[in-house]
Amino acid sequence: MSNLQPVRGTHDLLPEDARRHRHVEQSAFDVAQLYGFGEIITPVFEFTEVFARTLGETSDVVSKEMYSFTDRGGDSITLRPENTAGVARALISGGLTQSLPLKLFYRGPMFRYERPQKGRQRQFTQIGIELLGVEGPQADIEVIAIGWHILQKLGLSEHVTVEINSLGDTESRNAYRTALVGYLSGFKDKLSADSLERLDRNPLRILDSKDEGDKAIVAGAPLLIDYLNEASRGFFETVKNGLAKLGVPVKHNPKLVRGLDYYSHTAFEFITSALGAQGTVMAGGRYDGLVSQMGGPATPGIGWAAGVERLSMLMGELEALRRPIAVIPMGEGDEAMLVAHRLRHAGFAVELGYSGNMKKRLTRANKANARAAVILGEDELSRQAAMVRDLDSGEQEEVPLSDLEVRLARYK
């Protein structure tokens, strides 16, 4: 059994890495709560149709990256590759359309079969925000501002650039689609097979193509910003001005698009180059057509998702853990267990060794970075007392057991 390894693209989070992950997740949730967002926890697997309908049958995620299987009941089930579709499904199946607007935060594992690389695994963790039921640009401003606030709290904002674009309303996108198809049709003999297939069904997806030949063609494509109608331009200007007032620095990237039809108006990405090649750590957009595409009522929505692995890699060192109190028995450990139990219930972190002589136990206490040691010798216990040693200064004093909590308070 010595050759057992984790599945490729998965990894174990040992305590220090797990602490960094938890710090990212909890910091994000703490900020989200300041804006009135509550947490939603959806299942890690859904019926495959939930993702196939929302991400598009021809998307790389659906066609190449989803972990799908047939369960014992004969249903096609998929481990979630992202969480927005699950939240939208919960809105519909839970009858939550009567409770709009909904302000939701999520965190948890996602699954995609793709080539593992730095900061990207096949099982990865995301945090995300979804704001459902608000049509106006105020929602876009707030959702992006939450993301920036979280990065500030994590100390990462100096490493990140916020890029933003407008996808416009349906009228604007239809006008752009016509222009884009007209342009791309002149390159049918040079487009990749995937892009040729998308040309009629979903030409905006071609703008996201990873094929080098497609990229060269797309570089000369018309820009969506030039096809926005007056209403869409006004919406975009309001979002940009609102973010400027809040001190969120944004850069207009006219080539930032979303290929799926249910996206509209604001699209945005939080970009960093601190991890080597430029990479996205947080991305989102407005998806007013998603809920209706899934069979629910027309419901505006906007949100973002962020990779916890990438955010934790960007962070510096975490604040040191609270230093514990070491409880060290000189003889039998029963009294030590009782003392440790008392102190833990009083809010102290306590390190209790399981075996070894005094020297070994003190060595372990130092290794655990203990602040003080409570030494329970037989003489002291006969007087219902303990010896408390300051492990930084070496000073020690005898303390009645009944006074331990009070005398240790300075080390808490």
pLDDT in tens, 23-43: 999 999 999 999 999 999 999
* Exposed / middle / buried, residue 212 (Cβ in 10 Å: 0-12, 13-18, 19+): exposed
Q: How confident is the model at residue 204 (pLDDT cuts 50, 70, 90)?
A: confident
**How far is residue 306's CA from residue 272's CA, in Å, rounded to a whole number?**
12
Name the token pair of 113.
């079969």
Across the chain, mean pLDDT equals 90
Q: Taking a C-beta distance cutoff of 8 angstroms, is the pair 272, 160 a contact? A: yes
Output the pLDDT for position 1. Answer: 45
- 162 phi and psi, to 5 degrees? -100, 115
Range with the poorest average pLDDT among 182-186, 264-268, 342-346: 182-186
Among candidate residues 300, 126, 139, 280, the one with its CA nearest the CA of residue 208:
280
For 394-403, what is the mean pLDDT? 94
Q: Judge if pTM exceeds 0.85.
A: yes
In the predicted structure, residue 198 carries a pLDDT above the cut 70: yes
In the chain, the percentage of residues whose pLDDT exceeds 70 is 96
Residue showing tokens 């030494």: 375
Helices (H) and strands (E) in the chain, counts: 15, 16
Q: Taking a C-beta distance cutoff of 8 angstroms, is the pair 64, 105 a contact? A: no
pLDDT in tens, 205-253: 888 888 888 889 999 999 999 999 999 999 999 999 999 999 999 999 9
Q: How confident is the model at residue 276 (pLDDT cuts 50, 70, 90)?
A: low
Output the pLDDT for position 2. Answer: 52
Output the pLDDT for position 332. Answer: 66
pLDDT in tens, 79-120: 999 999 999 999 999 999 899 999 999 999 999 998 777 667
**How far is residue 365's CA from residue 287's CA, in Å, rounded to a whole number?**
54
- 3-class SS of residue 350: strand
Query: Sign of the CA dihedral 17, 23, 25, 28?
Result: negative
Question: Domains of the chain by range and CATH?
Answer: 15-169+229-314 (3.30.930.10), 325-411 (3.40.50.800)
**How far is residue 200's CA from residue 178's CA, in Å, rounded to a whole number?**
10
